[in-house]
Structure 1
Amino acid sequence: MSTIIMSQCWPLQSLSVTQKAVLISLADQANDDGVCWPAIGTIAKRCCMSERAVRTAMDHLEAVGLLSRERRFNSSNVYSVTPSKFDASAAGTKAKRKAKKPWAAPGAGGAADAGGAPDAPGGAPDAGGEAGGAGLEVRPVPPNRHITPIEPSEEPQVPALAAPLSKAALEAQMQEACKQTWAAYRTAYRLRHGVDPVRNAKVNTNVRDLVKRLGREEAPQVAGWFLGVNEQYAVKRMHDLGVLLAGAEAYRTQWATGRQVTTTSAQHTDQTQSNLSAADEAIELLRSRRPTNAV
């Protein structure tokens, strides 16, 4: 996948949904020179359309300069995606050159607009003539031509479903979340300790892992909140980012509930639970020793 070619293709306008989907699929598989060689069937599956629609879209992309093809025998064609050569007006010019021309009427005179038999009863059309009553031009069918129903050049367009994000888009979202997480942590760190935290490859990995574990929305908020933790271990480690990562889910719960657990409070809670358990045991012991009243 070439992010260079992809970024040049996304802003292009004057393309249908089908044409844009095929173009993006080719760009997603191309190298930095725009070269790729996927099969038509592969593109059709990726874009959820028929192979015929893919070929029609490719014809248009080639007409406007976005695509060139090198056809090979018994192998996939080689395609070159060239967004820099895009010319939206080229499609209209090519369409005019391919426009169907009226066939000349056979018979005397040879001109398509020959009068025919103008005084024929009821205006019956002759070869190359007109329908006298309706005034409609009748174009003769060229010899040996097979008449087929007119078919649209493209399949009817349907509202496109939201396509899954590409790897490039997902990576861009991850990078933005990492930037926000680091910015929140760095700002809070300066306020707490008066200096910037160390940033190296290990720290960058910790930031990325924190975003993966807590999500893009909550990771920056938890990272900034963590510098207010007064837990003995976190304070001794100067609120190192590795401490936050090691207990990410627990710290996230404290952030979400607004209850900060310190070493003292944890010991107090543990002692309270122990006292309650001892009291319950004493009560049960007294009950077991109490004599039952005789009836």
Structure 2
Amino acid sequence: MSMLLMVQAMAIKVGNPLRKLVLIKLADNASDSGECWPSVGHIADQCEISPRSVQSHIRQLVKDGLVRVEQRRGSSGVNQSNVYHLNLAGEGANPAPYGAAAAPRGRKSCGGEGAGAAPRTSRLEPVIEPIDPPNPQVGGEGEILADAQKALEFYNQQTGTRCKDAKPFVTLLTPTTSRDAYTLDDLKLVIRWVVSEWKRRGDTYAKPANICRVNRFDGYLADATAWATAEAAIPAEDVIAGYNEILGDVLPVAELDDGRRRMIRHIQAHMLTQSIPAFLGYFEKFRDTAPEFYFGGPERDGWRASFDYLMKPETLRKTRENAL
């Protein structure tokens, strides 16, 4: 990680918060010379956005002159992770890659429409962080209040709500004589787990007071950690991609959403081997052994199985036992 590039990335305005996050993640992976080669999937996982969004934001960063992309191919001609060259010192003043013209960064002067782009002097300005929460006390208590507010903002972002009381998070972030304080990362992990896994009542999510029960939070954190580990071991994106590649020409193509993420994690417990190859083997066996009924019948115009149908433990068991 290059601290200079991280500071520069934080100071540059790119016009979109997710694009800023992608730029910061590239800087986090870059050497002091500005080179890095993380995969799109890795960036997407770290930023918690889709690979398609990552690619879109990188294309815009290239147009802005902040990033240059160098494509790499292996000896067999297969694409490898691109090399990204960051150009942050001049905020995109260098030419865009592949011989394109320099990305326009100047602005017309206020004096008239016909004036050319005014020269721009790029300089780094100190990042002024807002006081959050207002006027926190100096020392540990002020840090606790600030982290509690960040946890509340993260909760609201994940749930699309506007809760205003950060006290439940303050309780967990405050150490006691019987336990250490939980961290902001602990809170964020449990919030993500709750949003993904807890059954909702209508259109509402569990409130912060329910999530932050002191006598239950240890268990919540343990379950959330196991959930995150399983999610990382078997990326849902790879499962969906494998299904579409193997069965997409005979069954409906599937797109990933939160519900299907849950389906993938739940069926893992019923698999003899929990791995991507195990999922691919399951899809291939279903394709090769399932009767034509599951593929629309002789005329291919009847009911067809789907990704959701294959995520049922009963379908997995019947496929394994050749009992479809």
TM-score (norm 2): 0.28
Higher relative contact order, structure no. (Cα contacts within 8 Å, ≥ 6 residues apart): 1
TM-score (norm 1): 0.30
